[in-house]
Amino acid sequence: MTLSTARKSSEVLEYLQTRRSCPMNLLGDQQGPNHEEIKKMLEIAARVPDHGRLYPWYFVVFDGDARRDVGALLREAYKIEEPDATEDKLDLEAARFLRASTVILVISRIRMAKKPVWEQILSSANACYNLSLAANAMGYGANWLTEWYSSNAAFKTSLGLDERDHIAGAIYIGNVVKEPEERPRPNVEDLTTFWQAGATLNKGAAYDPEKPCNPAKGFSFPDDFR
């Protein structure tokens, strides 16, 4: 195997400069990836920076009927989330995974190791992103979501997740029904400092909306930070 370390590729650059998630209303559930393609995507997802070779993530794939069958778990979990939900609403929530051909849950699993938990979680984000890029490069749209079920204890337990497991992302994969529009992108100059002595760091203040959730000073991680 020839490894890619510093291999010039204008094709990869052009792709990365124009990549977009496929919004759910433009993502289809037709002509999804077969299992061979999914396996290849997951091999690419697993080829990410990972401090200490801990493999602090694993994958749960939903395609075909599994997308419908998981609806029973989503329905039960949503009832706990919203006890007054109507049957129509429960039907809607039960059909969440049917919105794409394939839904892959990337689960961050904390390994009992010296490497910091934070770094293990970061690695799982890499896996989500590599998976999305692999899907795109194979001709599929992808969208990384973390909807209510990602942090719903009942759903996670019913799937078999334990306290070391967190849903880093649900990667929805399918055909692109219509190309999405571009969305605003930041000006990286606002977010970058070429450091020299005495430099004031560009922290992207322009992107801190004036909201109580963005205090000018003072911050501590919430108790449920994971």
Instruction: Give the whole-angstrom CA distance, residue 152 versus residue 158.
Output: 10
Which burial class, exposed, middle or buried, applies to 105 when counting CB atoms under 10 A from its CB (0-12, 13-18, 19+)?
A: buried
Strand locations in the chain (E): 57-63, 102-109, 141-145, 165-174
144 part of the interface to ligand FMN, by CB under 6 A = yes
Among 44, 117, 138, 145, indicate the residue that binds ligand FMN (CB under 6 A): 145
- Among 33, 56, 169, 174, indicate the residue that binds ligand FMN (CB under 6 A): 169
In this structure, are residues 118 and 151 in contact, taking their beta carbons and an 8 Å threshold?
Answer: no
Piece of 42-50, 58-66, 143-151, 203-211 that binds ligand FMN (CB under 6 A): 143-151
Q: Which of these ranges, 106-114, 137-145, 158-166, 207-215, lies near ligand FMN under the rule CB under 6 A?
A: 137-145
| Rounded-to-integer distance, Cα 144 and Cα 39, Å | 18
Rounded to a whole number of angstroms, the minimum distance from the CB of residue 185 to ligand FMN is: 8
- Shortest distance, CB of residue 162 to ligand FMN, whole angstroms? 21
- C-alpha distance across the termini of the chain, in Å: 37
CB of 19 to ligand FMN, least distance (A): 7
Measured between alpha carbons, how far is 203 from 222 in angstroms, rounded to an integer? Answer: 21
Contact window for ligand FMN (CB under 6 A) among 47-55, 96-104, 115-123, 138-146:
138-146
Report how far apart, in Å, the C-alpha atoms of 195 and of each of 54, 188, 191, 206, 208 are: 33, 15, 12, 19, 22
Per-residue binding string, ligand FMN, 48-87, x by CB under 6 A, is ----------------------------------------
7 to 46, contacts with ligand FMN by CB under 6 A? 20-21
For the sheet containing 102-109, what is the strand order?
57-63, 102-109, 165-174, 141-145
Nearest approach, Cβ of 208 to ligand FMN (angstroms)? 18
Which 172-191 positions form the footprint of ligand FMN (CB under 6 A)? Answer: 183
Q: Minimum Å distance from CB 91 to ligand FMN? A: 20
Least distance in angstroms from the C-beta of 119 to ligand FMN: 16
In angstroms, the CA 61 to CA 41 distance is: 11
Binding site residues, ligand FMN, CB under 6 A: 20-21, 143-147, 169, 183
